[in-house]
């Protein structure tokens, strides 16, 4: 802390020092004065008279003081371009929006700015405080305010609909999915939702994921998973792949499989199916209703297939890598095979909505 203040003084800059307790703010000024005797230090807080507070701020603006020890009163409305170091005591007690606003007080000029968020090492951080500080550390780039606001919304909730009374549901299903479900419910209530989108469940033995060594940032991996879950056409899958190649290089096999899963999900949804999963030595497709001629075609193309008309399910034998001694197909080969089954036998006669 002493080094941070002195570094700022060496480049003739100024420092905001946040001490959010009016009762002890004078002691904080005296403590800092002992640590950095060459600095000119003053204090500002909301319980000061209007004229006195205005004079203190004017003096700081005109560089008569080097360090302003203050409460969070300075979190909005100040533009002191010469102040480029911020030190916050007990940052674990402040809200995420407060931390973000306070950080915005520095870096408003040409000089590089520094923000220090301090907390007592002898006291363990609460989970919420850790989330707030981690979010501030992760989103320091230009335009990061939106991501900070969304995380703040996730931590605190947003009133009754997405807030405290519903927090248990958010914890169970995830914030993004919960928001989508609420949006669908609102659209249905208004009558403008149209046909509800089918939920597609694909459960196949596939090694499909984004390896840590390929996309190192957890936030970026989650964003990419979200984008892949939202694709609705093959062209959108191609766009995601092109972006991955551009940002991270050629996709390794698990990523290529993940892209193929997204393509299969698109095809399954187009074919008006809901489920594709492994059932013993078969692959199960549902819901499917086949006419007698279509059942004959299915048996001709995929011998040993089973049609369960009463439940709208088709079981197709899972192929093997070799007729004798081969292992069951998996990964990308299995995905391509499933797509072929849909294209050749199921797509033209998939069950209506």
Mean pLDDT over 193-197 rounds to 63
Nearest CA to 68 out of 106, 122, 121 is that of 106
Backbone angles phi, psi at 327, to 5 degrees: -105, 155
Question: Does residue 126 carry a pLDDT above 90?
Answer: no
Residue 50: CB partners within 8 Å, gap ≥ 6? none
Residue-wise pLDDT for 7-65, tens only, equals 999 998 999 999 999 999 999 999 999 999 999 999 999 888 889 999 999 999 999 99
Return the SS3 of 262.
helix
Question: Does residue 276 carry a pLDDT above 70?
Answer: yes
Q: Which residues pair with 85 in a beta bridge?
A: 15, 114
Among all chains, which residue has been given the structure tokens 């991270």?
248
Stretch (H or E) spanning 83: strand 83-88
Question: Does residue 83 carry a pLDDT above 60?
Answer: yes
Domain ranges for the chain: 2-156, 164-190, 201-349
Percent of the chain whose pLDDT exceeds 70: 89
DSSP category for residue 342: I
Residue 153: CB partners within 8 Å, gap ≥ 6? 162, 175
Percent of the chain whose pLDDT exceeds 90: 41
Residue-wise pLDDT for 304-314, tens only, equals 999 999 999 99
For domain 2-156, the CATH superfamily is P-loop containing nucleotide triphosphate hydrolases (3.40.50.300)
Question: Does residue 120 carry a pLDDT above 60?
Answer: yes
Q: Which residues pair with 201 in a beta bridge?
A: 275
The overall pTM is greater than 0.75? no
Residue-wise pLDDT for 286-345, tens only, equals 999 888 999 999 999 999 999 999 999 999 999 998 888 888 888 899 999 999 999 999
**Are 261 and 284 in contact, with CB atoms under 8 Å apart?**
no
Q: Lowest mean pLDDT: which of 105-114, 146-155, 202-211, 234-243?
A: 146-155
Q: How many CB atoms lie within 10 A of CB 278?
A: 15
**CATH topology identical between 2-156 and 201-349:** no
Q: What CATH number matches the domain at 201-349, 3.20.20.70, 3.40.50.1820, 3.90.1150.50, 3.40.50.1970?
A: 3.90.1150.50
């Amino acid at each position: 802390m002493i080094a941070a203040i002195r570094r700022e003084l060496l480049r003739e800059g100024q420092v905001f020092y946040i001490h959010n307790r009016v009762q002890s703010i004078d002691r904080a000024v005296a403590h800092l004065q002992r640590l950095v005797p060459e600095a000119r230090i003053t204090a500002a807080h909301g319980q000061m008279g209007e004229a006195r507070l205005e004079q203190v701020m004017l003096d700081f603006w005109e560089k008569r003081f080097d360090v302003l020890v203050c409460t969070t009163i300075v979190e909005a409305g100040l533009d002191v371009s010469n102040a480029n170091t911020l030190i916050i005591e007990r940052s674990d007690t402040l809200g995420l929006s407060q931390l973000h606003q306070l950080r915005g007080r520095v870096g408003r000029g040409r000089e590089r700015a520094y923000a220090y968020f301090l907390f007592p090492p002898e006291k363990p951080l609460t989970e919420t405080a850790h989330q707030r500080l981690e979010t501030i550390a992760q989103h320091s780039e230009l335009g990061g305010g939106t991501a900070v606001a969304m995380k703040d919304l996730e931590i605190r909730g947003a009133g009754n609909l997405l807030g405290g009374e519903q927090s248990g549901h958010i914890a169970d299903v995830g914030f993004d999915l919960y928001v989508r479900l609420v949006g669908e419910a609102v659209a249905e209530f208004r009558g403008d939702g149209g046909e509800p989108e089918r939920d597609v469940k694909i459960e196949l033995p596939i090694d499909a994921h984004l390896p840590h060594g390929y996309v190192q940032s957890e936030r970026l991996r989650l964003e990419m998973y979200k984008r892949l879950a939202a694709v609705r056409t093959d062209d959108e899958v191609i766009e995601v792949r092109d972006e991955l190649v551009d940002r991270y290089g050629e996709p390794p096999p698990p990523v290529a499989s993940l892209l193929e899963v997204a393509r299969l999900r698109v095809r399954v949804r187009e074919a008006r199916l809901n489920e594709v999963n492994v059932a013993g030595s078969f692959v199960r497709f549902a819901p499917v209703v086949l006419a007698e001629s279509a059942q004959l075609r299915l048996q001709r193309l995929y011998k040993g297939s089973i049609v369960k008309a009463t439940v709208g399910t088709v079981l197709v034998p899972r192929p093997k890598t070799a007729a004798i001694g081969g292992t069951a197909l998996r990964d990308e080969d299995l995905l391509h095979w499933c797509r072929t089954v849909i294209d050749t036998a199921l797509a033209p006669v998939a069950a209506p909505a």
